[in-house]
Structure 1
Amino acid sequence: MRIYLDNAATTFPKPPEVYTAVGQYQRELGAPVGRGAYLEAIEVQRRVDRCRQLAAELLGAGDPRRIVFTFNGTDSLNLALQGLIRPGDHVVTTAAEHNSVLRPLRWLSERRGIRLTVVPCDPTGLVSVEGIREACQAPTRLVCVTHASNVTGSVQPIEEIGQTARSAGALMVLDAAQSAGQWPIDLGALPVDVLCCSGHKGLLGPLGTGLVWLGPAAEEQIDDYRLGGTGTQSEKEEQPETLPDRFESGNHNAPGLLGLGAALEWLRTTGIETVARHERELTGRLLEGLAGIPEVKVHGPAAEAPRTGVVSVTVDGYEPQTLAALLDEHFGVQTRAGFHCAPRIHAALGTAATGGTLRFSIGPFNTTDHIDAAVEGMRELAGAV
């Protein structure tokens, strides 16, 4: 039996409706988005518009035109960071970030001369609001923070961090790759100027999909990141100035967006609270089971803390990669081992010198049987050291 516990990388399986929508596009519709007036093209455009509307509703985003489709979370973050940050700006981020934030900011520091402050996190991956406040004492252009750690599952206090950024006159960029679809988000209430996420993780869509929400302040200040054909105002050489066309040059991943639309319909019907409750219950079961294995060290917050279904562990005597391979080979439990593209957080966890961690990540289609099998596999392997 295949037990997939690598949902923080990409969720699997997807809702059945996702496969149906992608297959229907590939076999029956086949038209590009916004590039035709024939029947199939109109239907594709209708479904993409519906996908945009559903994303806006799910995130409490208001106007669907503020949802810009991208190709993944990395693409979304590059649009925001490279579009908003100017040479010489001061930017604040955290040690809990993914390389999709750290690498663009490092590049901007080395090539564009931005000043970068990285606020540390504690051993659970949580960032101090006071640390953000202190970092923003200098004039700050932008604060970029992950909503939930992809290594420990810690959920950051975004309301307080966002208010701190606002008080400092900085724009707030939220990396919601690990929270969108798994954690309730209301952009109408959060002090956030830009939200970036992938479509293939908690939103349950296919790979090759992502989105950016641009608030009014960010829209006024952001530079165009990618220019070209949009299927609109094609008689002009100038890039359209209206959302979302301004940032959606080139052909969309049409089968991906139709699949994402089907996934968002499933989430709308099922309810984010239902998904979050299911994952919270399974996470608690996993943490309880692992706590009963003396050789296993869990890195991250307690079950009752604000957290997602991401659990990282180490076992003395095993490299994380070896542990992952043995879990897969002998128990069919599929996880991810290593640094998870988030190198700075491992210094706080004390796992940088030993190859990172073994990460379990729970999705909406996991069951108690999956969790119990994973715990039993860990018990047998840990006992064999």
Structure 2
Amino acid sequence: MDHAATSWPKPEAVINAMTESVTFMAGSPGRGTHGMSLQAGRTMNKARSTLSKLLGFGNPNDVAFAQNATMALNLAIKGLLQPGDHVISTMLEHNSVRRPLEFLKRTQGIEVNYVPVDLSGQINLEAVKKLFRTNTKLVIATHSSNLLGCILPVEELARLAHEHGAVMLVDGAQTVGNLPVDVERMGIDMLAFPGHKGLLGPQGTGGLYIHPDINLEPQMHGGTGSQSAEPEQPDIRPDRYEAGTPNIPGISGLAAGAEEVLRIGVEQIYKHEWSLTQTIVENLQNLSGVKLIGPALGEPRTGIVSFILENQDPAQTAFHLDRKYGIAVRAGYHCTPLGHAQAQTTETGAVRVSVGYTTQEYEVETLIRAVAELSKG
């Protein structure tokens, strides 16, 4: 029950695709004309095409592959912002957003406002409106908090951003593959996503959707197999943002995982996860000594439920869940210290349970019994 970190088990199609890639694709796309190199290129094109269908953008070349969502966010943030720019973000952001912003504050003098949220993770849009300035360049928001599981109104934030001439960047780490996302309909200009969570692919994969009107400064420079005689990075997509030999086995698995999500249907995945999380919330909220954080029962959320046991360190709780009951969860600060400040759990951290499409009802029942026993000491 740690799907917010990495989904597991992986579909058989993902394993087969990666095995086939390692076995038969000993070539680098764009770097050769032999069969294995060409097949590797076709695999990458297939992955881009599948993602464009899943995420609602027209040109598959508008997605750049990355090692993970963190690298994608770094490309988006550092590739767009310039000295003197102003950014609006939220107090729920992961360190993969906060740390690049703080780095640019220190080195380039950008300005940042982090918008607070209430205890259920809801943001005040009227407060956001008041933060826009003439130099506001970027609005950044996680689609769903990796601590609280709340879902932020990214469509409304995108509308506000565009009304003020700013770009909308969304961290889709907890929603891509788990919640319907359509970048064109929702007004998302850039979307960072991992391959190893809701997309059911392997670790070490991810990407960034970039609106065709946005030109980012590459953060990696090197060989692409295109415009090789030029000293500068190519200006064509996706080559501009994909220097070096790509992770073909990983992207093969990512493509297979995304196809599996399309086959099942994102709406069906979300419905399954919603049902399980509501069962967890309904049962844990009635246990003495258990404090739940995040949205209340019935309120919108992704497959994340975080809690604290009174008089027990979250690390202890996670340890006992693993060793005594065979339940894998995440404890600590979840790389979101500002989120814990909003949840009033800075001193303790929290235990995070996160379900996925493969989570079964009997597993949820086992979790509930285990937490009930631990809450009694």
Q: TM-score range by the shorter chain?
A: over 0.9
What is the rounded CA distance, in whole Å, between the counterparts of 2:153 and 2:310 in structure 1? 32
| One-letter code aligned to 1:133 | K
**Which residue of structure 2 aligns with residue 287 of structure 1?**
281
Indicate the SS of the match to 2:274.
helix
| One-letter code aligned to 1:54 | T
> For residues 1-385 of structure 1, what are the structure 2 equivalents within 5 Å?
5-219=1-215, 222-354=216-348, 356-384=349-377
| One-letter code aligned to 1:180 | V
Instruction: Give me the identity figure in percent.
Output: 39
What is the rounded CA distance, in whole Å, between the counterparts of 1:238 and 1:136 in structure 2? 35
What is the rounded CA distance, in whole Å, between the counterparts of 2:315 and 2:124 in structure 1? 31
Note the alpha carbon deviations across 1:320-364, whole angstroms, 9 max, x for none: 00000011111111100011000001111111012x100001111
Larger mean Cα displacement after TM superposition, 334-343 or 12-21 = 12-21
Q: What's the offset of the Cα at 1:174?
A: 0.7
Unaligned runs of 5+ in 2: none
Runs of 4+ in structure 1 deviating by more than 3 angstroms, as ranges, are none
What is the rounded CA distance, in whole Å, between the counterparts of 2:339 and 2:210 in structure 1? 28
What is the rounded CA distance, in whole Å, between the counterparts of 2:284 and 2:30 in structure 1? 51
Q: What's the offset of the Cα at 1:138?
A: 5.0
Larger mean Cα displacement after TM superposition, 197-206 or 38-47 = 38-47
What is the rounded CA distance, in whole Å, between the counterparts of 2:328 and 2:155 in structure 1? 34
**Do 1:96 and 1:126's aligned partners in 2 also have CA atoms closer than 8 Å?**
no
| One-letter code aligned to 1:113 | G
**Do 1:328 and 1:334's aligned partners in 2 also have CA atoms closer than 8 Å?**
yes
| One-letter code aligned to 1:207 | Q
**Do 1:96 and 1:127's aligned partners in 2 also have CA atoms closer than 8 Å?**
no
**Do 2:3 and 2:356's aligned partners in 1 also have CA atoms closer than 8 Å?**
yes
Indicate the SS of the match to 1:359.
strand
**Do 2:84 and 2:135's aligned partners in 1 also have CA atoms closer than 8 Å?**
no
What is the rounded CA distance, in whole Å, between the counterparts of 1:46 and 1:115 in structure 2? 42
Q: How many residues align structurally? A: 377
Larger mean Cα displacement after TM superposition, 89-98 or 31-40 = 31-40
Q: What's the offset of the Cα at 1:28?
A: 2.7
What is the rounded CA distance, in whole Å, between the counterparts of 1:6 and 1:195 in structure 2? 23
| One-letter code aligned to 1:155 | I
| One-letter code aligned to 1:263 | G
Indicate the SS of the match to 2:45.
helix
**Do 2:86 and 2:133's aligned partners in 1 also have CA atoms closer than 8 Å?**
no
**Do 1:139 and 1:168's aligned partners in 2 also have CA atoms closer than 8 Å?**
no
Indicate the SS of the match to 1:381.
helix
| One-letter code aligned to 2:16 | T
Q: What's the offset of the Cα at 1:40?
A: 1.7
Q: What's the offset of the Cα at 1:168?
A: 1.4
Unaligned runs of 5+ in 1: none
| One-letter code aligned to 2:376 | G
| One-letter code aligned to 1:174 | V
Backbone CA RMSD of aligned residues: 1.1
What is the rounded CA distance, in whole Å, between the counterparts of 2:305 and 2:219 in structure 1? 35
What is the rounded CA distance, in whole Å, between the counterparts of 2:135 and 2:187 in structure 1? 19
Note the alpha carbon deviations across 1:292-329, whole angstroms, 9 max, x for none: 31211110112422210011001111110000001111
Indicate the SS of the match to 1:212.
strand
